[in-house]
Homo-oligomer: A and B are copies of this chain.
Amino acid sequence: MENAPSLRNVKSQNAVLEALHQVNHATASEILDWLKVTQKNMKVSLTSVYRALNHLVATSQVKPLNFNDGQVRYELNTHAMHHHHMICTKCNLIQVLDLCPFDDIADKVKDTFSIQYHNFELFGLCGNCK
């Protein structure tokens, strides 16, 4: 007989998910900082945050983001509409860009390339900084 799916290890993963729910587009160490402040009872290491993130990415619950600043950021993949980002090069504000250029492009390359995913980011000055 099948066992119920294990709930093993879900605690730290849930903590990370909860952190990402509160602090969107966060890095591993930003997530750790948030956990330290809000989950004073639970003791988590940076190693475990990375392990949880890697698992959550592998299971498509979380998406890694690269804004070319030397550290990976993460966002929830759950129920979030597909979107991209605008990053302010002065204050590092990250804004959501609901426009996606993908559909126009997809058709035009489909004969030579089988697309799995795409990256698109705008870098520039946000409303406050320009």
Contacts and interface: CB of A to CB of B under 8 A. Distances in A.
A109 interface: yes
A101 B95 contact: no
Contacts of A127: 112-113
A57 interface: no
Interface stretch (A19-27, A32-40, A74-82, A115-123): A115-123
Contact of A120 (B89, B120, B124): B120
Interface of A: 66, 68, 86, 89, 95, 97, 99, 101-102, 104-105, 108-109, 112-127, 130
29 contacts: A68-B119, A86-B109, A86-B115, A95-B112, A97-B105, A97-B109, A99-B108, A99-B109, A101-B102, A101-B105, A101-B120, A104-B104, A105-B122, A109-B122, A112-B126, A113-B125, A113-B126, A113-B127, A115-B123, A116-B123, A116-B124, A116-B125, A118-B120, A118-B121, A119-B119, A119-B120, A119-B121, A119-B123, A120-B120
